Protein backbone atom coordinates (compact mmCIF):
# COMPACT_ATOMS: atom_id res chain seq x y z
CA UNK A 1 0.00 0.00 0.00
CA UNK A 2 1.09 3.56 -0.68
CA UNK A 3 0.94 6.11 2.14
CA UNK A 4 0.01 8.95 -0.23
CA UNK A 5 -3.61 10.12 -0.39
CA UNK A 6 -3.22 10.71 -4.13
CA UNK A 7 -1.95 7.90 -6.34
CA UNK A 8 -1.55 6.60 -9.84
CA UNK A 9 -3.00 3.11 -10.25
CA UNK A 10 -2.75 0.47 -12.93
CA UNK A 11 -4.53 -2.86 -13.24
CA UNK A 12 -2.48 -6.04 -13.60
CA UNK A 13 -4.05 -9.50 -14.00
CA UNK A 14 -1.16 -11.49 -15.51
CA UNK A 15 2.48 -11.09 -16.55
CA UNK A 16 1.71 -10.30 -20.21
CA UNK A 17 1.56 -6.58 -19.35
CA UNK A 18 4.09 -6.63 -16.51
CA UNK A 19 6.97 -5.29 -18.61
CA UNK A 20 4.70 -2.43 -19.62
CA UNK A 21 3.80 -1.72 -16.00
CA UNK A 22 7.43 -1.64 -14.91
CA UNK A 23 8.36 0.76 -17.69
CA UNK A 24 5.32 2.92 -16.90
CA UNK A 25 6.50 3.13 -13.28
CA UNK A 26 10.00 4.01 -14.47
CA UNK A 27 8.64 6.79 -16.69
CA UNK A 28 6.59 8.32 -13.87
CA UNK A 29 9.68 8.40 -11.67
CA UNK A 30 11.92 9.67 -14.48
CA UNK A 31 9.64 12.67 -14.93
CA UNK A 32 9.64 13.27 -11.19
CA UNK A 33 6.03 12.60 -10.27
CA UNK A 34 5.46 13.35 -6.61
CA UNK A 35 2.96 10.50 -6.40
CA UNK A 36 3.44 6.72 -6.30
CA UNK A 37 2.09 4.10 -8.68
CA UNK A 38 -0.03 1.38 -7.07
CA UNK A 39 -0.46 -1.90 -8.95
CA UNK A 40 -4.02 -3.18 -8.59
CA UNK A 41 -3.68 -6.95 -8.87
CA UNK A 42 -6.32 -9.65 -9.13
CA UNK A 43 -6.25 -13.26 -7.93
CA UNK A 44 -4.92 -14.33 -11.33
CA UNK A 45 -1.65 -12.42 -10.89
CA UNK A 46 1.10 -15.04 -10.33
CA UNK A 47 3.87 -15.27 -7.68
CA UNK A 48 6.66 -14.31 -10.10
CA UNK A 49 4.75 -11.11 -10.84
CA UNK A 50 4.47 -10.29 -7.15
CA UNK A 51 8.20 -10.84 -6.71
CA UNK A 52 8.94 -8.49 -9.61
CA UNK A 53 6.85 -5.74 -8.02
CA UNK A 54 8.31 -6.34 -4.56
CA UNK A 55 11.90 -6.31 -5.84
CA UNK A 56 11.25 -2.89 -7.35
CA UNK A 57 9.35 -1.58 -4.29
CA UNK A 58 6.22 -0.88 -6.35
CA UNK A 59 3.17 -0.59 -4.10
CA UNK A 60 0.33 -3.03 -4.75
CA UNK A 61 -3.23 -3.64 -3.69
CA UNK A 62 -5.51 -6.63 -4.21
CA UNK A 63 -8.78 -5.94 -6.05
CA UNK A 64 -11.65 -8.15 -7.15
CA UNK A 65 -12.02 -9.13 -10.78
CA UNK A 66 -15.13 -7.30 -11.99
CA UNK A 67 -17.56 -8.67 -14.55
CA UNK A 68 -21.18 -7.76 -15.38
CA UNK A 69 -23.96 -10.01 -14.16
CA UNK A 70 -24.58 -11.20 -17.72
CA UNK A 71 -21.78 -12.68 -19.82
CA UNK A 72 -20.84 -10.76 -22.93
CA UNK A 73 -18.78 -12.42 -25.64
CA UNK A 74 -15.57 -10.47 -26.27
CA UNK A 75 -13.96 -13.18 -28.42
CA UNK A 76 -12.97 -10.55 -30.99
CA UNK A 77 -11.33 -8.43 -28.29
CA UNK A 78 -10.50 -10.63 -25.26
CA UNK A 79 -8.74 -7.68 -23.57
CA UNK A 80 -12.16 -6.28 -22.73
CA UNK A 81 -12.83 -9.05 -20.19
CA UNK A 82 -10.18 -7.42 -17.99
CA UNK A 83 -11.38 -3.88 -18.66
CA UNK A 84 -14.37 -4.00 -16.30
CA UNK A 85 -11.93 -4.16 -13.40
CA UNK A 86 -10.57 -0.75 -14.46
CA UNK A 87 -13.71 0.67 -12.82
CA UNK A 88 -12.32 -0.34 -9.42
CA UNK A 89 -10.60 3.03 -8.71
CA UNK A 90 -14.02 4.61 -8.13
CA UNK A 91 -14.24 2.41 -5.01
CA UNK A 92 -10.82 3.17 -3.51
CA UNK A 93 -12.09 5.61 -0.89
CA UNK A 94 -8.91 5.34 1.16
CA UNK A 95 -7.50 7.76 -1.42
CA UNK A 96 -8.60 11.32 -2.15
CA UNK A 97 -7.59 11.15 -5.82
CA UNK A 98 -6.84 8.23 -8.09
CA UNK A 99 -5.53 8.54 -11.63
CA UNK A 100 -5.94 5.18 -13.34
CA UNK A 101 -3.43 4.42 -16.10
CA UNK A 102 -3.23 1.51 -18.51
CA UNK A 103 -0.04 -0.51 -18.27
CA UNK A 104 0.64 0.00 -21.99
CA UNK A 105 1.33 3.69 -21.44
CA UNK A 106 4.56 5.68 -21.31
CA UNK A 107 4.81 9.04 -19.53
CA UNK A 108 6.83 11.55 -21.53
CA UNK A 109 6.26 14.64 -19.37
CA UNK A 110 5.21 15.29 -15.79
CA UNK A 111 1.42 15.41 -15.45
CA UNK A 112 1.00 15.73 -11.69
CA UNK A 113 -1.46 18.55 -12.32
CA UNK A 114 -4.08 15.83 -12.81
CA UNK A 115 -3.94 15.29 -9.06
CA UNK A 116 -5.29 18.84 -8.58
CA UNK A 117 -7.84 18.91 -11.41
CA UNK A 118 -11.25 20.12 -10.22
CA UNK A 119 -13.82 17.33 -10.06
CA UNK A 120 -17.07 16.78 -8.18
CA UNK A 121 -16.63 16.10 -4.48
CA UNK A 122 -17.34 12.50 -3.42
CA UNK A 123 -20.37 13.81 -1.49
CA UNK A 124 -22.06 14.63 -4.82
CA UNK A 125 -22.45 10.85 -5.24
CA UNK A 126 -22.07 10.81 -9.01
CA UNK A 127 -24.85 13.34 -9.57
CA UNK A 128 -22.73 16.31 -10.65
CA UNK A 129 -21.34 17.44 -14.00
CA UNK A 130 -17.69 16.58 -13.31
CA UNK A 131 -17.87 12.98 -12.14
CA UNK A 132 -14.46 12.04 -13.54
CA UNK A 133 -12.00 13.20 -16.17
CA UNK A 134 -10.67 11.37 -19.21
CA UNK A 135 -9.70 11.92 -22.82
CA UNK A 136 -12.10 10.94 -25.59
CA UNK A 137 -11.99 7.56 -27.25
CA UNK A 138 -11.07 7.75 -30.93
CA UNK A 139 -14.10 6.31 -32.74
CA UNK A 140 -12.63 6.40 -36.25
CA UNK A 141 -11.86 2.68 -36.43
CA UNK A 142 -8.80 3.34 -38.65
CA UNK A 143 -8.06 -0.39 -39.02
CA UNK A 144 -11.63 -0.97 -40.23
CA UNK A 145 -12.24 -3.77 -37.76
CA UNK A 146 -15.49 -5.41 -38.88
CA UNK A 147 -16.79 -6.12 -35.36
CA UNK A 148 -16.67 -2.44 -34.36
CA UNK A 149 -20.03 -0.61 -34.28
CA UNK A 150 -21.23 0.99 -37.53
CA UNK A 151 -21.35 4.43 -35.92
CA UNK A 152 -17.62 4.36 -35.14
CA UNK A 153 -16.70 6.72 -37.98
CA UNK A 154 -14.50 9.85 -38.21
CA UNK A 155 -17.52 12.15 -38.40
CA UNK A 156 -18.54 11.07 -34.89
CA UNK A 157 -15.03 11.38 -33.45
CA UNK A 158 -14.32 14.22 -31.03
CA UNK A 159 -10.75 14.54 -32.29
CA UNK A 160 -11.98 15.19 -35.84
CA UNK A 161 -13.77 18.26 -34.53
CA UNK A 162 -10.41 19.70 -33.44
CA UNK A 163 -8.55 19.40 -36.75
CA UNK A 164 -9.19 23.04 -37.64
CA UNK A 165 -7.71 24.32 -34.38
CA UNK A 166 -4.72 22.15 -33.44
CA UNK A 167 -3.32 24.77 -31.02
CA UNK A 168 -6.47 24.51 -28.92
CA UNK A 169 -6.37 20.71 -29.09
CA UNK A 170 -3.13 20.74 -27.08
CA UNK A 171 -4.87 22.48 -24.18
CA UNK A 172 -8.52 21.42 -24.12
CA UNK A 173 -10.63 18.44 -25.08
CA UNK A 174 -13.73 18.60 -27.26
CA UNK A 175 -17.02 18.68 -25.39
CA UNK A 176 -17.68 15.51 -23.39
CA UNK A 177 -20.97 15.17 -25.26
CA UNK A 178 -19.52 15.54 -28.76
CA UNK A 179 -20.28 12.71 -31.18
CA UNK A 180 -20.56 9.39 -29.40
CA UNK A 181 -19.36 10.95 -26.12
CA UNK A 182 -17.27 7.96 -25.09
CA UNK A 183 -14.20 8.40 -22.85
CA UNK A 184 -11.14 6.24 -23.39
CA UNK A 185 -10.68 4.10 -20.29
CA UNK A 186 -6.89 4.17 -20.46
CA UNK A 187 -6.61 7.22 -18.21
CA UNK A 188 -9.30 8.12 -15.70
CA UNK A 189 -9.07 10.85 -13.07
CA UNK A 190 -11.31 9.93 -10.16
CA UNK A 191 -12.39 11.18 -6.75
CA UNK A 192 -13.33 7.80 -5.23
CA UNK A 193 -16.85 7.60 -3.81
CA UNK A 194 -18.82 4.64 -2.51
CA UNK A 195 -22.01 6.15 -3.88
CA UNK A 196 -20.60 6.73 -7.35
CA UNK A 197 -19.13 3.24 -7.38
CA UNK A 198 -22.51 1.80 -6.42
CA UNK A 199 -24.08 3.52 -9.44
CA UNK A 200 -21.47 1.77 -11.60
CA UNK A 201 -22.02 -1.63 -9.99
CA UNK A 202 -25.79 -1.24 -10.35
CA UNK A 203 -25.35 -0.41 -14.03
CA UNK A 204 -23.18 -3.50 -14.53
CA UNK A 205 -26.04 -5.62 -13.19
CA UNK A 206 -28.47 -4.32 -15.81
CA UNK A 207 -29.28 -6.23 -18.98
CA UNK A 208 -28.09 -3.14 -20.89
CA UNK A 209 -24.50 -4.07 -20.00
CA UNK A 210 -24.76 -6.53 -22.89
CA UNK A 211 -24.83 -3.55 -25.24
CA UNK A 212 -21.48 -2.17 -24.07
CA UNK A 213 -19.12 -3.11 -26.89
CA UNK A 214 -16.18 -1.44 -25.17
CA UNK A 215 -16.80 -2.54 -21.59
CA UNK A 216 -15.83 0.05 -18.97
CA UNK A 217 -15.61 3.06 -21.26
CA UNK A 218 -18.98 2.31 -22.89
CA UNK A 219 -20.57 2.09 -19.45
CA UNK A 220 -19.01 5.34 -18.22
CA UNK A 221 -20.00 7.19 -21.39
CA UNK A 222 -23.60 5.99 -21.01
CA UNK A 223 -24.06 6.28 -17.25
CA UNK A 224 -22.43 9.71 -16.98
CA UNK A 225 -23.28 11.00 -20.45
CA UNK A 226 -21.93 14.54 -20.87
CA UNK A 227 -21.10 14.72 -17.15
CA UNK A 228 -17.36 14.13 -17.30
CA UNK A 229 -14.40 16.41 -17.92
CA UNK A 230 -12.84 15.92 -21.35
CA UNK A 231 -9.05 16.20 -21.21
CA UNK A 232 -6.92 17.03 -24.25
CA UNK A 233 -5.46 14.10 -26.17
CA UNK A 234 -2.02 14.85 -24.73
CA UNK A 235 -2.81 13.00 -21.47
CA UNK A 236 -3.88 9.82 -23.25
CA UNK A 237 -2.24 10.09 -26.65
CA UNK A 238 -3.47 7.00 -28.46
CA UNK A 239 -0.63 5.98 -30.76
CA UNK A 240 -3.04 5.69 -33.69
CA UNK A 241 -3.83 9.43 -33.52
CA UNK A 242 -0.30 10.04 -34.82
CA UNK A 243 -0.89 8.02 -37.96
CA UNK A 244 -1.20 9.92 -41.22
CA UNK A 245 -4.89 10.24 -42.08
CA UNK A 246 -6.19 9.58 -38.57
CA UNK A 247 -5.57 12.67 -36.41
CA UNK A 248 -2.07 13.74 -37.42
CA UNK A 249 -3.55 17.25 -37.77
CA UNK A 250 -3.57 17.70 -34.00
CA UNK A 251 -0.71 15.42 -32.89
CA UNK A 252 2.51 17.12 -31.76
CA UNK A 253 5.30 14.96 -30.39
CA UNK A 254 6.60 17.70 -28.10
CA UNK A 255 3.17 18.29 -26.52
CA UNK A 256 2.33 14.68 -25.67
CA UNK A 257 2.52 13.93 -21.95
CA UNK A 258 1.51 10.30 -22.00
CA UNK A 259 1.46 7.96 -25.00
CA UNK A 260 -0.92 4.98 -25.04
CA UNK A 261 0.15 1.93 -27.04
CA UNK A 262 -3.30 0.64 -27.90
CA UNK A 263 -3.85 -2.40 -30.11
CA UNK A 264 -1.30 -5.06 -30.98
CA UNK A 265 1.57 -5.48 -31.14
CA UNK A 266 2.67 -3.90 -27.90
CA UNK A 267 6.22 -2.51 -28.00
CA UNK A 268 7.50 -5.28 -25.72
CA UNK A 269 6.09 -7.91 -28.09
CA UNK A 270 8.62 -6.75 -30.69
CA UNK A 271 12.39 -7.00 -30.70
CA UNK A 272 14.40 -3.96 -29.72
CA UNK A 273 15.35 -2.09 -32.87
CA UNK A 274 12.72 -3.87 -34.96
CA UNK A 275 9.69 -1.87 -33.88
CA UNK A 276 6.77 -1.31 -36.22
CA UNK A 277 6.47 2.44 -35.77
CA UNK A 278 8.44 5.40 -34.49
CA UNK A 279 6.46 5.85 -31.28
CA UNK A 280 7.50 2.34 -30.23
CA UNK A 281 11.13 3.51 -30.27
CA UNK A 282 10.27 5.94 -27.46
CA UNK A 283 9.10 3.03 -25.33
CA UNK A 284 12.18 0.94 -26.10
CA UNK A 285 14.46 3.81 -25.13
CA UNK A 286 12.72 4.16 -21.75
CA UNK A 287 12.67 0.39 -21.26
CA UNK A 288 16.42 0.18 -21.94
CA UNK A 289 17.04 2.91 -19.36
CA UNK A 290 14.96 0.96 -16.85
CA UNK A 291 16.70 -2.36 -17.49
CA UNK A 292 20.15 -0.79 -17.21
CA UNK A 293 19.23 0.91 -13.94
CA UNK A 294 17.73 -2.28 -12.52
CA UNK A 295 20.74 -4.36 -13.48
CA UNK A 296 22.96 -1.93 -11.60
CA UNK A 297 20.81 -2.68 -8.53
CA UNK A 298 21.04 -6.42 -9.02
CA UNK A 299 17.59 -6.89 -10.54
CA UNK A 300 17.62 -9.02 -13.70
CA UNK A 301 14.52 -11.22 -13.77
CA UNK A 302 13.60 -11.04 -17.44
CA UNK A 303 10.76 -8.58 -17.02
pLDDT of residue 149: 86
pLDDT of residue 137: 95
pLDDT of residue 58: 98
Q: Is residue 1 part of a domain?
A: no
Burial class (CB in 10 A: 0-12, 13-18, 19+), 133: buried
Question: In this structure, how many other beta carbons lie within 10 angstroms of the beta carbon of residue 98?
Answer: 27
Q: Is residue 302 part of a domain?
A: no
Q: What is the CATH number of the domain that holds 122?
A: 3.90.550.10
Kindly give the parts of the chain with pLDDT less than 50. Answer: 72, 74, 76-78, 80-81
Q: Is residue 301 part of a domain?
A: no
pLDDT of residue 77: 45
**Mean pLDDT taken over the chain:** 92
Domain count, the chain: 1
Q: Distance between CA 65 and CA 44 in Å, rounded?
A: 9
Look up the domain containing 96 and give its range.
6-296
Q: Is residue 303 part of a domain?
A: no
Q: Is residue 136 part of a domain?
A: yes
pLDDT of residue 258: 98
pLDDT of residue 81: 44
Q: Is residue 141 part of a domain?
A: yes
pTM of the model: 0.93
Q: Is residue 225 part of a domain?
A: yes
- Each residue of 197-247: pLDDT tens digit? 999 888 888 776 666 666 678 889 899 999 999 999 999 999 999 999 999
- Each residue of 168-190: pLDDT tens digit? 999 999 999 999 999 999 999 99
pLDDT of residue 204: 81
pLDDT of residue 66: 73
Amino acid sequence: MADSKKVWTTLITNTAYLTGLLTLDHSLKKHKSAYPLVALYTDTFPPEGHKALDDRAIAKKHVKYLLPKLHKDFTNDPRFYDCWSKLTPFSLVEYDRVVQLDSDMLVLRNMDELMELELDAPSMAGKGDKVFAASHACVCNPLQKPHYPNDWVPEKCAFTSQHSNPDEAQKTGASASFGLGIPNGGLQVVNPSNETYQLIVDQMSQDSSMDYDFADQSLLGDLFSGRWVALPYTYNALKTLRWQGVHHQIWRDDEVKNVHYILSPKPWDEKEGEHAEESHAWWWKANRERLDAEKSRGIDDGF
